[in-house]
Amino acid sequence: MKLIILKDEQALSNYAAKMVMDHINDNPNGLLVFPTGNTPLGMFESLVSKYQKGLVSFRNSSLLELDEYYGIAINSYLNLFAWLDRTFIQKVDFFPKNVFRFNSDSLNSEAEIQRISAIIQSKNGIDLLVLGLGTNGHIGFNEPNSDPTSPTRIVKLTPESLQSNSRYWDEDSIVPDSGFTLGMDSLLKARKIILLVQGNSKAEILNATLNSDISASVPSTYLRPLKNCYILADQEAASKLDTNLINNLG
């Protein structure tokens, strides 16, 4: 794992977008997995701008959803997919047949999980994985107690995740308390991983990710031994790190 500390959110977003662009230009046919949330917004904006300038194209890439609520209508604007679609997918040139999502109101969740697992297999695994970091160390909806063998599955969401995702919902909405997630087993095998960590609210969990024992209680710690994993943090997120660690890793 390599830790790269950037000045602020803008610098982090630009750096992440350039890494993604360079990776896609070198590997145009891969399976991409991108996160939802506040953290990747600047990266998406920068990628859209690079696409508009002709610097990158997604027409040969595939995209698979990282996670999704379970138990809401597939055409609901509250789907995480709908968010990703509005924010990014529609603004660039993916072919619809290469974009894959969880069916959030599937009646047969087991078959849905098999379908998604078969897509990952048919694409030879995830090529480029970009992640955000939950304040509890989750990656995707792999909540605490997800070990590296955790498969793609439905999980019960923790109060932290429900709270952090409440911004997607109106106050009186009934928020699903479970969701699909790609499993740790597929995520940790991605050929390149970029973890984005931004803001003071992530300082504690970034420190735990880098310094606590590698264990399922903080799933993001499993990224640490991976040579192909880049953690991009802004200075606020890095504010609780030991400076020796920064010098050694940076």
Give the residue numbers marked as catalytic.
Answer: 67, 136, 138, 143
Residue type, 43: M
Choice from 103, 104, 164, 209 touching ligand PGA (CB under 6 A): 164
CB 68 within 8 A of CB 101: yes
CB 32 within 8 A of CB 128: yes
CB of residue 190 to ligand PGA, shortest distance in Å: 16
Q: Closer to ligand PGA at the Cβ: 123 or 195?
A: 195
Segment lying near ligand PGA (by CB under 6 A), choices 33-41, 101-109, 115-123, 187-195: 33-41
CB of residue 196 to ligand PGA, shortest distance in Å: 7
- How far, CA to CA in Å, does 79 sit from each of 34, 88, 182, 194, 240? 15, 14, 16, 24, 34
x/- mask, ligand PGA, residues 128-157, rule CB under 6 A, reads: ----x-x-----------------------
Instruction: State the Cα–Cα distance between residues 95 and 14, nearest whole angstrom.
Output: 25
220 makes contact with ligand PGA (CB under 6 A): no
Q: Residue 110 contacts by C-beta under 8 Å, 6 or more apart in sequence?
A: none
CB of residue 131 to ligand PGA, shortest distance in Å: 7
Residue length of the chain: 250
166 makes contact with ligand PGA (CB under 6 A): no
Segment lying near ligand PGA (by CB under 6 A), choices 37-45, 97-105, 142-150, 216-224: 37-45
Q: Choose among 25, 26, 33: nearest CA to 50.
A: 25
Segment lying near ligand PGA (by CB under 6 A), choices 32-40, 49-57, 171-179, 220-228: 32-40
Q: Residue 246 contacts by C-beta under 8 Å, 6 or more apart in sequence?
A: 3, 5, 238
39 makes contact with ligand PGA (CB under 6 A): yes
Burial (CB count within 10 angstroms: exposed 0-12, middle 13-18, buried 19+), residue 110? exposed
Q: Closer to ligand PGA at the Cβ: 123 or 194?
A: 194
Residue nearest to ligand PGA (CB): 37
CB of residue 52 to ligand PGA, shortest distance in Å: 24
Q: What phi, psi does 168 have (nearest 5°)?
A: -80, -10
37 makes contact with ligand PGA (CB under 6 A): yes
- The two tokens of residue 59 are 């027409």
Q: Note the residues at the interface with ligand PGA (CB under 6 A).
A: 37-39, 132, 134, 164
